[in-house]
Amino acid sequence: MSDKEAEFREFVGGQMEALRGLAYLTCGDWQVAEDAVLGALARLYGKWGRVENPQAYARSAVVRAAIDETRRPWWRREQSHGDALPETVAPDEILTIDDRVHLRQALLQVPVKHRAVLVLRFLEGLSVPQTAAALRCPEGTVKAYTSRGLDTLRRILGAEVSIEERLEARHEVV
């Protein structure tokens, strides 16, 4: 095995769960999320060694692939029939399980591009410029989508507590 392959395998081993969670939050379906992650990692492997920041590249590629998957479901040959992958349960002192479920369900009702911005901004902790670079859109679009996405979440949840605080307090809603 070459050094390039070993480095790539190590990268995938360390990033797979986070990328799959990010894709799931973006598209809302485990199988689509898995397809998005594997496609993005396949493209990254071809560019391995030439990409300056592989983690940022992978995160950006996964979000774009997950958005593309939800935009064009008609071309898929196979259809998913449920969430085959189990959800991982992590200890959570900040939000109760009910809060996580409600927040995840509310996120799935937010339009996909707004959801992608919210996930990158609040769950992945990216700044406005980093999110704009990841989604290949202007910073103004990121700000508008953030505002609209948060408004949608507030409307859905009837939030008395700041949505931003709830999202930032929980880095893994899955």
According to the model, what pLDDT value does residue 146 have? Answer: 93
Judge whether residue 81 has pLDDT over 80.
Answer: no
User: Domains of the chain: which residue ranges?
Assistant: 3-73, 97-169
Specify whether the CB–CB gap between 47 and 54 falls below 8 A. no
Give CA–CA dist 120/116, Å, rounded: 6
According to the model, what pLDDT value does residue 140 have? Answer: 95
Class of 3-73 in CATH: mainly alpha
Q: Which whole-number Å values give the CA distances from 1 to 9, 11, 13, 23, 76, in the listed order?
A: 10, 15, 16, 29, 34
- Tokens encoding 25: 């939050």
Amino acid at 169: A
Residues of the chain with pLDDT > 90, as a percent, come to: 28
Same topology between domain 3-73 and domain 97-169: no
- Tokens encoding 66: 């997950």
CATH topology of domain 97-169: Arc Repressor Mutant, subunit A (1.10.10)
116 vs 1, residue with greater confidence: 116
Judge whether residue 66 has pLDDT over 70.
Answer: yes
According to the model, what pLDDT value does residue 166 have? Answer: 61
pTM: 0.57
Instruction: Give the Cβ contact number of residue 83 at 10 Å.
Output: 13
